[in-house]
Amino acid sequence: MNKLQQLLTMLLVLGVLFRAAPGRAANRVIVVPLGGFSGNATSADVIHGRSFSSKTAGKGAVGSLKIRDGAILYTNTVGMEFSLIPAGSFIMGSPDGSGDTDHPPVRPAEDGRDSYEKQHQVTITKSFYMQTTEVTQAQWEMIMGSGTNPAYFASCGMACPVEQVSWFDAQNFIDALNALEHRTNCNTIPNSCYTLPTEAQWEYAARADTVTAFYNGDILAPTGNDINLDKIGWYGFNAGGTTHPVAQLASNSLGLYDMAGNVREWCRDWGGNYPDNPVTDPGGPTSGVGRVNRGGDWSDLPAHHRSAMRFDNSPSFRSKQIGFRLVLPSWP
């Protein structure tokens, strides 16, 4: 497939369809903005270099779409960037070393594995956008107001992840952002609203089609300096006891940064045991004691940064180790 064919395929995925205008050559497009309705714009308006603008359509959510290193990215009205995560299936959890052939490939147990990580097949039926970075201190103040930054590591700077936010604090941020962008009736189509990712969405996006402990390979030093983790995550052996500006280390193949370090990230789900059978679009238990958070943080051992590693804490809990990132539905 040549580059033009790849570009056209990605445009179709985005919902950007070419259509001839009456009496003219096929130089117009129908743009379906994220969360909005279709509107007309000339191809010159919509396609500029490697960027795709939904603002020119004049309808729906204002923002832009672009392609970077194979990732399809959406930038919202306040500059937060999201990567398109295609629908699909994966094996959630980590191998137990028993030679389990029901959840291929057969791999040894990962260092630091917990029984809480039982492998099972998960299908994600709808594509979605995930924020490419953790919510930053600058983004927090932009949405919640100047002077509201709760971060313990405020001296790290506005490009560093916000932390010391509870699960409830994250919900307040989401409500404020949805209101700012006039996103209402959040459970209806074609409207779409920001949320925390489900635990399944988080691990699916973090893995990016990989089956290793980290998205760039196996764990090499579970309790020491790990040369694989050094490339992708801030942790106890390279962070120097603090958070760092987001997107400084290598992303995964979906264009997501800091999925294995910097701060742990709240998910939507209550903590609980995984099911035995394959599941579709799981949302976790209906009740519980703690809300899930994922990804490891600036103070953790390498084993705690594995894609399958799970934590949960009271939704009112605040910690300098925990922040969050958002997802946004992508309705076909």
Based on the fold, state whether residues 243 and 128 are members of the same structural domain: yes
Task: Identify the domain containing residue 13 by its residue range.
Answer: 3-66
* Domain end point (choices 47, 66, 85): 66
Based on the fold, state whether residues 88 and 109 are members of the same structural domain: yes
Based on the fold, state whether residues 45 and 56 are members of the same structural domain: yes
Any idea of the CA torsion for 72, 75, 76, 82, to the nearest 10 degrees? 50
* Domain end point (choices 15, 49, 66): 66
Q: How many domains does the chain have?
A: 2
DSSP notation for 3-70:
HHHHHHHHHHHHTEEEEPPTTS-S-EEEE--TTS--EEEEHHHHEETTEEESGGG-SSS--EEEEETT
At 174-232, the pLDDT tens digits run 999 999 999 988 877 667 899 999 999 999 999 999 999 999 999 999 999 999 999 99
* pTM score: 0.82
Based on the fold, state whether residues 81 and 20 are members of the same structural domain: no
pLDDT means over runs of 10, the chain (332 residues): 43 37 31 39 36 38 57 86 94 92 88 91 95 98 97 98 98 96 82 92 97 96 95 98 97 95 98 95 95 97 97 98 94 52
Adjacent-strand bridge partners of 322: 264
Based on the fold, state whether residues 164 and 15 are members of the same structural domain: no
Adjacent-strand bridge partners of 83: 73, 130
Based on the fold, state whether residues 55 and 93 are members of the same structural domain: no
Based on the fold, state whether residues 53 and 91 are members of the same structural domain: no
Whole-angstrom distance, CA of residue 4 vs CA of residue 190: 29
CATH of the domain at 89: 3.90.1580.10
pLDDT score, position 173: 98
Whole-angstrom distance, CA of residue 109 vs CA of residue 104: 13
DSSP, res 275: P
DSSP element (H, E) containing 169: helix 167-180
Based on the fold, state whether residues 74 and 120 are members of the same structural domain: yes
DSSP element (H, E) containing 313: strand 311-313
Q: Helix 167-180 vs helix 137-144: angle between axes, to the nearest 10 degrees?
A: 60
* Domain end point (choices 66, 93, 118): 66
Based on the fold, state whether residues 76 and 59 are members of the same structural domain: no
Task: Judge contact between 17 and 30, C-beta under 8 A.
Answer: yes
Based on the fold, state whether residues 205 and 145 are members of the same structural domain: yes
Based on the fold, state whether residues 129 and 229 are members of the same structural domain: yes
User: CA separation (Å) from 234 to 94, 134, 226, 239?
Assistant: 22, 13, 11, 5
Based on the fold, state whether residues 102 and 47 are members of the same structural domain: no
DSSP, res 135: P
pLDDT score, position 87: 93
pLDDT score, position 5: 43
Q: For residue 175, with 0-12 CB atoms within 10 Å meaning exposed, 13-18 middle and 19 or more buried, which class applies?
A: middle
